[in-house]
Structure formats: C-alpha cells, structure tokens
Amino acid sequence: MRDDDQMSYDVDRVRRSFPALEHGVAHFDGPGGSQVPVEVARAVADTMVSGIANRGDITDSEQRAEAVVVEGRAAVADLLGCDPGGVVFGRSMTQLTCDVARVLANGWGPGDEVVVTRLDHDANIRPWVAAAESVGATVRWADFDKETADLPIEAVTELLSERTRLVAVTGAANLLGTRPDVPAIAAATHTVGALLYVDGVHLTPHAAVDVAALGADFYACSPYKFLGPHHGLLVADPSLWQTLTPFKLLPATDVVPERFELGTLPYELIAGTTAAIEFLAGFATGEAASRRGRVLASMAELEAYEDGQFTHLLAGLGSLDHVTLHGSPRRRTPTALFSVAGMPPPDVQRHLASRGVNAPGGNFYALEAARWLGLGDAGAVRAGLAPYTTPADVDRLVAGVAELAP
C-alpha cells in the first residue's frame, strides 16, 4: 500500500456522518452489521413521511414510490456493476436465497448434485442442502485449508461433473475474511453447465464488485453490512430471471424482477440503500463522470485504507503470546478471527466491551467453518474493520486484548 493511498482516505470526514460514534465505542462488529450514517437515516425518514402509496403512475404518492424503486435499482446496479432490471429486493439475503433455492430445486431430482463449501455462512449452505434433500439430489462439500483458511480452486473443481446443477460459494468469508478465486470457480462451474450462486454479503462492504467479472449467475448481499438499512438484495441477469417461476400471488405481476418481490416493497429501506450507495461513492477525492465511476474509485481508496489498518491490527494481535490468530488467507477482507488462551469468546467480548470496544465472539452463523477449524459451535472472537475505523480504535482493541495475558 502506498502512503498517498492511505492519506487520500479521510476517515475523520467519514466519521462525522455517524452519530453512533459519538458514544465513544470502537466498533469492530461491522461484519455483523455496520453503523449507519445520518444521510441514510434521513433518507429513510424522509421517505416514510413524504406521502407514499403502492407503486403506480396516477397519484403523486404512487409516482413517488415508483421513483424510489427505480432509483434504488439504478443505485444497486452502480454498486455491483449489474443490470438494474435484474435487481431483486427482499427481506434479507437469507430469505432471498431460500426462495431461489426452492425455485431452482423444482428442476432438480435424484442424480443431480449441488456443491457447497465449509467456508460459507450457513445462509449459503443450508438453503441448498435443504432444497437438494427435498428432491433427492446430492450435496457435495468443498473443504478449505484449516491452517491458511484458503479455499483452493481444486477443492471445488474436483467435485464438479455433468450432474452438477449449482455451486454456492462466498465472495468473502464472514468468519475468516477469505476471498476465494471466484472467477476461476465460475469458469469451471460454467464449463459443466452449472449455475454459480455467490454470497457477497461480506465482500461488498470492502471491495469494488463487478458481478459480470466475477462470473456470478446470482449475487446476493445485504445493505446493512455496507452502511444501509436492514434488508437484502439478489441480482442476476434479467434473462436468467425470466427462466424461473417463483411461488407468488395470482394478482401479482409476472414482470421481472417484480415477480420475485413478494408483497409490498419497503420503500423507505430502498431509499436508505440508495443513500448508502451515494455515501460510499463519496469516499473518493477525485471526480468521476458517473456514479459507477465514483463507486469504483471510492472503494479502491477504502480498500487501501482498510488494508493499512488491518496490517496494524494483525501485527498487534500477532505480538501477543496468549492470542491465536486463525487463518492467513492470501486474499482477504480486513477481518481477524482470534482466540485468547484460557478464555471463552463471550468472556473476551465482555472484557473488551468494558473497555468500549465491540468485538463479538461466536460462530456468526458460519457454523461449518467454525467446526472445521476445531473451534466448535462456540467459535472465536471476530474483529472486522469498517469505513469509520481509526488507528486509535485498533490500538484500543489490541490494548484490551493485551490485558488478558495470563
């Protein structure tokens, strides 16, 4: 990382938009849900009191709701490099994945196979396992390296065959930060005629995303992980959505992507997501002709800044003899998983909380990964960086953990 890259990111300016930070807490709990800038909260509130109705083109209220949705799809497209006509809004990434898994399973049967990895959050494992089991299809498991936490490409590709119907893989592991080589996995997946479903929940807050470049047929993420409200996104090419028929109400539209959005959309949350994407796009110090250009420039600056802070964090935790850092993947998000000798994760979390540092302990729904590492269901302590993390925050975390030395 170049010094000018680190200096171009103004963390103090970013922090001024987060009222929650006025409490003085150092937040390392971003992988579970980020803090929210005031611009996002205002967008949510303004939408709720603006005079709004179900979408339509007659009254001002209907038109306002329609505009919120259209603008939201356009913003997501700029964030992820996808077609706005393929953006589906839902209750959560988990709900959207369960819905799509049930739909896809209608075309599976005995002899068909799906591939999942032990690196993933359970939201990108259990829906596929349940869907496969419901139709008699086979689930095949890809294992990651226990020492490095890397997911070798071969761990996935060796499981592929002409019977493979879908591969589910994370864009970045929420427990360990590992960033697998998704484009290589996508290429191999498509060679056998299968679909690739990418969980981008933990990747999206930390790196520029290009769904087409990743080779993802489906890409899911959660705005509340990238400074937005609590709901979920799932994107795919509109032509792929056209081939799928979801369970829906009879009067509901058959138009894509709306036919996959069950019930009335949460307009205020969509407006908040647009505001969150605008906020992310504002990190860059230079000018860009488009919002997509600003997003790419801003995420590059953020990634450089977080890399610097993460190097500092790993060095600090790594210097403590009573701390074990789990995994050292070659490509990763700024997410550290660690254990303290002789102390259960909840006790470490309580101690750090008493010092004004939020770094939770657990398996964080990455149950298979925690068990594969030998950590059991108790997991370990996770510290994840966010756009508002400062060097002083990192020092406080390391100092708090140092106090736990035997």
Q: Same structural domain for residues 320 and 275?
A: no
Please give the full DSSP string across 143-199, using - where no structure is assigned.
PPPTTT----HHHHHTT--TTEEEEEEESS-TTT-B---HHHHHHHHHHTT-EEEEE
Could you give the CA distance from residue 169 to residue 221 in angstroms, rounded to a whole number? 13
Output the six-digit token pair for 186: 């996508």
Could you give the CA distance from residue 177 to residue 170 in angstroms, rounded to a whole number? 10
- Which residue, of 244, 279, 314, is where some domain finishes? 279
Output the six-digit token pair for 302: 């953020």
How much is the pLDDT for 58?
A: 95
How much is the pLDDT for 5?
A: 43
**Is residue 285 included in any domain, yes or no?**
no
Q: Same structural domain for residues 318 and 222?
A: no
**Is residue 331 included in any domain, yes or no?**
yes
Q: Same structural domain for residues 310 and 167?
A: no
**Is residue 287 included in any domain, yes or no?**
no
**Is residue 61 included in any domain, yes or no?**
yes
The total number of structural domains that make up the chain: 2
How much is the pLDDT for 239?
A: 98
How much is the pLDDT for 289?
A: 81
Sign of CA dihedral 323, 357, 362, 202: negative
Question: In 252-380, where does DSSP find H-type helix?
Answer: 267-281, 291-318, 345-354, 367-372
**Is residue 21 included in any domain, yes or no?**
yes
How much is the pLDDT for 6?
A: 44
Please give the full DSSP string across 237-258, using - where no structure is assigned.
-HHHHHT------TTS---TTG
Cβ neighbours of residue 201 under 8 Å, at least 6 residues apart?
93, 121, 123, 174, 220, 221, 222, 225
Sign of CA dihedral 150, 153, 154, 159: positive
Q: Same structural domain for residues 178 and 260?
A: yes
Q: Same structural domain for residues 360 and 310?
A: yes
Q: Same structural domain for residues 27 and 168?
A: no
How much is the pLDDT for 264?
A: 95
The helix/strand/coil state of 81 is coil
Q: Which of 305, 331, 332, 328 is nearest to 394 (CA)?
A: 305
HEC string of 103-128 equals HHHCCCCCCCEEEEECCCCHHHCHHH
How do beta strands 232-236 and 87-90 pair? antiparallel
Could you give the CA distance from residue 199 to residue 202 in angstroms, rounded to a whole number? 8
- Which residue, of 257, 279, 301, is where some domain finishes? 279
Q: Same structural domain for residues 145 and 244?
A: yes
Q: Same structural domain for residues 362 and 342?
A: yes
**Is residue 138 included in any domain, yes or no?**
yes
How much is the pLDDT for 288?
A: 73
Q: Which of 134, 145, 78 is nearest to 299 (CA)?
A: 78
Per-residue CA distances from 402 to 160, 316, 323, 351 (Å): 46, 9, 9, 11
Residue 356 phi/psi, 5° resolution? 75, 30
**Is residue 286 included in any domain, yes or no?**
no
Q: Which of 222, 230, 167 is nearest to 200 (CA)?
A: 222
Q: Same structural domain for residues 299 and 236?
A: no
**Is residue 68 included in any domain, yes or no?**
yes
Could you give the CA distance from residue 119 to residue 373 in angstroms, rounded to a whole number? 10
- Which residue, of 233, 257, 279, is where some domain finishes? 279
Q: Same structural domain for residues 95 and 20?
A: no
Name the residue range of residue 275's domain: 42-279
The helix/strand/coil state of 398 is helix
Peptide bond into 266 cis (omega under 30): no
Q: Same structural domain for residues 26 and 112?
A: no
Low-confidence ranges of the chain (pLDDT < 50): 1-6
